[in-house]
Amino acid sequence: MAIRYLSVDWRLDHPEVRTDGFFGRRSLCGVDIVFIDPERVPERWVHDVPPQGDGIRRTDPQRDRGFGRTISGWIERRRGEADDLLRVRGGILVCRLRPRGEPLELFSAGGREERADRYSWLPPIALVDRHHQLSFPTNGRFLARCGDDVRLAQSGHPFEAYLEGMRGRIIYESVYQDLLSTPIERFGTVLARNAAGDVVSVEIPYDDGRMILVPPAVGVDPAEEAEALVSAARAMGNRPGYVTPPDWSPAYSLPGEDGLVDEIAGLTERRAKIDAKIAEVRARLEGIDRYKRILFSQGRFTFVPAVADSFRALGFEVDPVGDLLELRSPEGDALVAAQAAEAPSIGLPPYRALLEAVDRSITEGAGHRKGILVVSGSRHLDPKRRPTQFSAEVLRGCQAQRFCLVTAYDLFKLVQRSLLDRKGAPPALRRVVLECDGEFREAEIR
C-alpha cells in the first residue's frame, strides 16, 4: 500500500509529497507521514497583535472580532488531527526543532484562557516508568541555542541517515530539555546531541505512532532533502513501534524465546558488573589525574587545591589558611604560597604575601616555619618548554629569606617519585623541599 506524505510549511520537492500550510485545508490525520516546520506559526499574530508593556502579546477573544477564537480554533484543530495521526493511525510526525517563538496569550473576563506558540498544537502525552515520568510537550523546554556541533547517537535509527546526509548543513536553533531533568532515553530514542550534551534530535513514542524532532538544514536543495526524508520515513516502516505488550503476553512463548531471554539476562548481569568495574577504575584514574592539574590550572580554586594535593602526595598534612597552605610533617612545618599565570614569570605579590605570613607566624608565637613559593608561569606551554617562571626580584628575595622557590613542574616530578614508592612518600622528598634555600633544582634529590 502506498504511503501518503504531507509537508506543512516545509519546502520539499517530491512527487509523492503533498504540500500545505499550517492554516491550510489539508488534515494532518488524512495521511500517513507529516513533515511540519512550525517556524511560521507565530506570524499569524505577530503582525496583528502588538506587544504590551511586559513584552507579551495579548488579545481578548471577547473584543477582537473573533481573532482570538480563530487562533484558538486552529490550534485545537491541529492538535486533534496530530493526536489522531499518532495515536489512532499510528502514523509518523516529523517536526523541525525550533524555539517556541513569541507567544500569544488569549484573555477573557475570567482571566487567561490559553497560550499559543509554535508547539501549542502538539498533543500531550505522559509516559511513566517506575521512577520517572515524561510529560510532553508540557514539561518540554525548546531552549534557544544555535550551533552546528551535531553529534549523532549511532542508534541505528533511520533518521540518523537523514541527519548524516545533511551533515555540515545543519544549524540547530533550539535544543530540547525537560523541566524535571527526566532522562529522555528511558522513553524515546535520542538521535543527536550537541557538544554540550543537549538533545537536538529525538524520537518520542505516541502509543503506536512516533514523533521525531529534527534540527533545520540550511542551504539544502528541496528535492535532495525531500528524498532523504522520504527514504528515512520508508525505513521507519521496518522498525517496530513502541507497542507495550499486555500482562498476559508472556504466556504465549515461541520456540527459542526463553533461551534468548535468559541470555539477555546473563549479558545484562555481566554488563552491570563491567560497568561497576569501569566506574571503580575511572574513580582511581581521576584520583591519579588530579595531580596533573598543577601543570595547567590557574586560580585559588583550582591551582591552589592542586598544589595542596601534591604536597599531600609527598606525605605532608595540609590545611588551607586563607590564600596560603599550612604544611605539617615529622621533618618540619611550612607555609606555602602558590600562583599560576599566563605570563612567563611570576612577580613579587605572592612572595610578599608569603613573607608577611612567615613573619606573622613568628610574632604570634607559632614559631618559625619554612616558606615555600610554588610558581607556574606560561601555564599553557608544555612544562618542558617554559622559560624561567619567576622574576629576578623573587629569586633574590627567596634566597635572602631562605625560602624554597619551586616550579609546578618540579613539584609534579616530586609527586611522580613519591607515587612510585610502594611504601609511601619517602621522608627524603619532604626533607629536600624543607632544606632547599632559593631555587629548587632536581639535582638536589638524592
Residue 417 belongs to a domain with what CATH number? 3.40.1350.10
Say yes or no: 228 and 99 in one domain. Answer: yes
Res. 72 pLDDT band, cuts 50 70 90: confident
The C-alpha cell 514539561 sits at 139
Is residue 66 a part of any domain in this protein? yes
β-pairing verdict for 33-36 and 5-8: parallel
Q: How do residues 6-45 score in pLDDT, each as one tens digit?
A: 999 999 999 999 999 999 999 999 999 999 999 999 998 8
d(CA 78, CA 73): 9
Res. 307 pLDDT band, cuts 50 70 90: very high
Alpha helices in 100-202 (DSSP H): 158-165
Is residue 420 a part of any domain in this protein? yes
Helix (H) or strand (E) holding 135: strand 133-136
What's the pLDDT score for residue 212? Answer: 95
213's grid cell? 524532532
Say yes or no: 167 and 315 in one domain. Answer: no
Reduced to 3 states (helix: H, G, I; strand: E, B; else coil), residue 65 is coil
Tell me how far apart the terminal alpha carbons of the chain are, to the nearest angstrom: 84
Say yes or no: 217 and 297 in one domain. Answer: no
Residues 6+ apart with CB under 8 A from 157: 189, 191, 203, 239
What's the pLDDT score for residue 159? Answer: 94
Segment 93-114 shows an average pLDDT of: 83
Is residue 158 a part of any domain in this protein? yes
Say yes or no: 203 and 295 in one domain. Answer: no
Q: How do residues 275-287 score in pLDDT, each as one tens digit?
A: 899 989 988 888 8
Say yes or no: 69 and 195 in one domain. Answer: yes
Is residue 345 a part of any domain in this protein? yes
Lowest mean pLDDT among 14-23, 221-230, 372-381, 425-434: 425-434
Is residue 45 a part of any domain in this protein? yes
Say yes or no: 35 and 172 in one domain. Answer: yes
Res. 445 pLDDT band, cuts 50 70 90: low
Number of folded domains that form the chain: 2
Is residue 30 a part of any domain in this protein? yes
β-pairing verdict for 370-376 and 404-407: parallel
Res. 383 pLDDT band, cuts 50 70 90: very high
Say yes or no: 222 and 297 in one domain. Answer: no
Say yes or no: 16 and 87 in one domain. Answer: yes
Res. 66 pLDDT band, cuts 50 70 90: confident
CATH of the domain at 193: 3.40.50
Q: Are 175 and 167 in contact (CB under 8 A)?
A: no
Closest CA to 372 of 339, 345, 415: 339
SS3 content of the chain, % helix, strand, coil (to 5): 35, 25, 40
Name the residue range of residue 170's domain.
5-236
What's the pLDDT score for residue 201? Answer: 96
Say yes or no: 354 and 226 in one domain. Answer: no
Domain stop point among 236, 254, 272: 236
Q: Are 163 and 199 in contact (CB under 8 A)?
A: no
Q: Which residue has the higher pLDDT, 248 or 112?
A: 248
β-pairing verdict for 140-147 and 151-152: unpaired
d(CA 168, CA 191): 16
Say yes or no: 191 and 307 in one domain. Answer: no
